[in-house]
């Protein structure tokens, strides 16, 4: 999934169900200059989503 986030950032958003963000990312990626920020955004979003899932799981265990 990390490789998809770097190579095809918009697809990373689509696969996680974030369609509007995926469309915005695709528009950003269409420009060659915008590809790097789009890739960084996708990777950061993926890591944030993963951490949020871990946090929720941990809260359920200790609550």
Structure tokens at 35: 């590809």
- Each residue of 17-38: pLDDT tens digit? 999 999 999 998 888 888 889 8
pTM attached to this predicted model: 0.73
**Count of domains for the chain:** 1
Return d(Cα 46, Cα 51) in angstroms, integer. 9
Residue with tokens 């944030």: 48
- Asked if residues 22 and 33 have their Cβ atoms less than 8 Å apart, the reply is no
pLDDT at 52 over 80: yes
Cβ atoms of 1 and 12 closer than 8 Å: yes
CB 61 within 8 A of CB 32: no
pLDDT, residue 22, reads 92
Please, which pLDDT band fits residue 11 given cuts at 50, 70 and 90?
A: very high
- Provide the residue range defining the domain that includes 57: 2-62
Rounded to an integer, the average pLDDT of 39-50 is: 90
């Amino acid at each position: 999934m990390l490789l998809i986030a770097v190579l095809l950032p918009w697809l990373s958003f689509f696969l996680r169900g974030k369609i509007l963000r995926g469309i915005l990312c695709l528009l950003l990626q269409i420009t060659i200059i915008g590809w790097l920020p789009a890739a960084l955004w996708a990777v950061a979003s993926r890591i944030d989503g993963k951490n949020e899932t871990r946090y929720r799981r941990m809260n359920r265990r200790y609550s």
